[in-house]
Amino acid sequence: MDYETPMIRLHVPTPLAPDAAVLPTLDQSRYLTQVMRLKIGDGLLVFNGVDGEWRCVIAEALKKGVVLRAAEQVRPQTLGPDVQLLISVVKKSALEFAVEKATELGVRRIRLVVTHRTQVQHVRMDRLDAIAIEAAEQTGRMDVPMIDEPVKLGEVLDDWEAGRRLMFCDETGGAPAGPALQAAGGDPWAVLIGPEGGFSPEERERLRALPFATAVSLGPRILRADTAAVSALTLWQAAVGDWDR
């Protein structure tokens, strides 16, 4: 098999080591054998977010799935910049889009928040996890971001991690993002995106008073939450992220 060509990548929860047996899920096994038509002896790449990326081969094909055998580590474990996305719970399609793109843009953790104007709705965490895993597999990153259950924004701010800066995307205006971020310095950071109706005056007043928060503008237009998330993370990556490393 030509390992110079792009290979299939799978995320697995099991440890990876030389000659280790790796058991994909039944859905992953079906994908490998029925969609991609791989056979015994064919290779693919596997990662778990801890042990780096490994080249594996299909060792056995069973009724309940395939067994992979770890052949060699091709990349040691690495992590991207320490940036989190805090996003208000929004409509299903917009939230799923934001999770997918945040994963592609290298976010290490996604925290769902409930603001004063959040229209609370059921969130399928398993669906969001699956979207993040697929995005990580496709983009070549070595980990999958953690996605937290929804928590009230006030509680998140009350228990804020010391030393982490907050990029507060304020639709009423703020400093130009690039210069403001560069002046504040590198990671760790978090990017906060509000709900469709924006932040309440009380939330905005509290956020602007926080010593670790930097209020920034995303331009002259009011953006949808999912568009704002992509725009803000792009600006962050360009200013202080790993795009120039």
Q: What is the pLDDT of residues 157-211, one digit of tens each?
A: 999 999 999 999 888 777 777 777 787 777 799 999 999 888 999 999 999 999 9
pLDDT at 188: 93
CA angle 123, 127, 128 (to 5 degrees): 75
Give yes or no for residue 4 having a pLDDT over 80.
no
pLDDT, average across residues 18-40 = 91
Name the phi and psi angles at 176, rounded to 5. Answer: -55, 135
**1 pLDDT tier (thresholds 50, 70, 90):** very low
Give yes or no for residue 21 having a pLDDT over 50.
yes
Whether 9-75 and 83-240 share one fold: the answer is no
pLDDT at 185: 76
pLDDT, average across residues 234-245 = 83
Burial 170-199 (b: 16+ CB within 10 A, else e): bbeebeebeebbeebeebebbbbbbbeebb
pLDDT at 3: 41
Instruction: Give the integer Cα–Cα distance in Å for 103 and 142.
Output: 11
Whether 14 and 23 have beta carbons less than 8 Å apart is answered as yes
For the chain, domain boundaries: 9-75, 83-240
CATH class of 83-240: alpha beta
Q: Tell me the CATH architecture of domain 9-75.
A: Beta Barrel (2.40)
Instruction: Give the integer Cα–Cα distance in Å for 30 and 36.
Output: 9
Instruction: Give the integer Cα–Cα distance in Å for 231 and 219.
Output: 10
Q: Is the peptide bond before 188 cis (omega within 30 degrees of 0)?
A: yes
pLDDT at 6: 56
In the block, which residue shows the tokens 């992590």? 79
Instruction: Give the integer Cα–Cα distance in Å for 104 and 102.
Output: 5
114-123, 138-147, 213-222: which has the highest mean pLDDT?
Answer: 138-147
In the block, which residue shows the tokens 């996890």? 129
